[in-house]
Amino acid sequence: MGGFLDGKSAVITGSTSGIGLGYARALAAEGCDILLNGFGDEAEIETARADLESDFSVKASFHGADMRDPAAIKAMIETANADFGKIDILINNAGMQHRAPVESFPLDVWNDMFAVNVTSAMLTTQMVLPQMRERDWGRIINTASVNAHVTSPNTSGYTASKHAIMGLTKAVALETIMTGVTCNAICPGTVRTNLSEHRIDTFAAERGKTKEDVIDEFIDQKMPYHQAFRRFITVEEISAAAVYLCSEAGAAMRGAAFTIDGGWLVR
């Protein structure tokens, strides 16, 4: 097997489920070695790791660094360097969400959210960029969100953190503009993952309905003039964007917000 990423390696934070695992499988399908990161059931993570190796004949490792812990982040980057000899692609994808009115938004949750959604990406970039500059090739991709552009009530922390990661993306893109290193953000609309599943549960409970009964209503409140679309964005649609950004065709994408949202932003 193999593909255009043969001989390259990637660190993907928050890749034990959802969008991050989708990135991992899509890059591995192109021959890229992968370091997985995130929380979850140990056996399930090991299955996901072993599947990458057996399905795509690449090297895959795992490091469970907590993205709130700078020392653990450093250890994760050192592990990837030891496992693969280098890091060509960095995807900052770990993320958390919390909904609360701004007046009662808990400071500890706010700080955790900024640590995971923003600061960890700054730290990994700081640690990996020097070797990318040396080889004059690299891809840094940050998972932002439509919430890097618009918001909805009770999401002040998430929205502020996603605006911040978009800002970091633009700054890094400009600081590397004379190099072969690109930095871009992918901005998904609603993808059905653990993160959104929790939100759908709450939405259904608030209406006293079953989850499946509220799916259309849940989607419509986000994309009210696009009922014709009326579906979730798929993990595969998001990870295809990462594959493109990692290709040579993506070399001119600099500081972009690659939005895949079923028309949410143009409503």
Task: Kindly tell me which residue out of 51, 96, 100, 126 binds ligand NAD, with binding defined by CB under 6 A.
Answer: 96
- In whole angstroms, how close is the CB of 226 to ligand NAD at the nearest point? 16
- Rank residues 146 and 253 by Cβ distance to ligand NAD and give the closer one: 146
Task: Kindly tell me which residue out of 193, 200, 241, 245 binds ligand NAD, with binding defined by CB under 6 A.
Answer: 193
- Rank residues 19 and 141 by Cβ distance to ligand NAD and give the closer one: 19
What does the per-residue mask of binding to ligand NAD show for 10-29, with x meaning CB under 6 A? ----xxxxxxx---------
- In whole angstroms, how close is the CB of 120 to ligand NAD at the nearest point? 7
Q: How far is CA 150 from CA 10, 108, 158, in A?
A: 30, 24, 11
250 touches ligand NAD by CB under 6 A: no
157 touches ligand NAD by CB under 6 A: no
Q: Give 221's strand partners.
A: none
- In whole angstroms, how close is the CB of 245 to ligand NAD at the nearest point? 15
Alpha-carbon distance of 202 to 230, in angstroms, equals: 20
Q: List the catalytic residues.
A: 158
Q: Which H or E run includes 92? A: strand 89-92
- Rank residues 144 and 246 by Cβ distance to ligand NAD and give the closer one: 144
Q: How far is CA 159 from CA 10, 33, 35, 42, 116, in A?
A: 27, 32, 28, 31, 14
Alpha-carbon distance of 41 to 149, in angstroms, equals: 33
Q: How far is CA 131 from CA 56, 86, 142, in A?
A: 26, 8, 18
Q: Which residues of 32-44 are buried (b: 16+ CB within 10 A; e: fewer)?
A: bbbbbbbeeeeee
# binding residues, ligand NAD (CB under 6 A): 28
- In whole angstroms, how close is the CB of 176 to ligand NAD at the nearest point? 22
- In whole angstroms, how close is the CB of 134 to ligand NAD at the nearest point? 27
Contacts for 133 with CB less than 8 Å, ≥ 6 apart: 176, 179, 181
Contacts for 120 with CB less than 8 Å, ≥ 6 apart: 13, 67, 68, 73, 92, 94
Q: Which positions from 97 through 126 interact with ligand NAD, judged by CB under 6 A? A: 116
38 touches ligand NAD by CB under 6 A: yes
| Footprint on this chain of ligand NAD (rule: CB under 6 A) | 14-20, 37-40, 66-68, 93-96, 116, 143, 145, 188, 190-191, 193-196
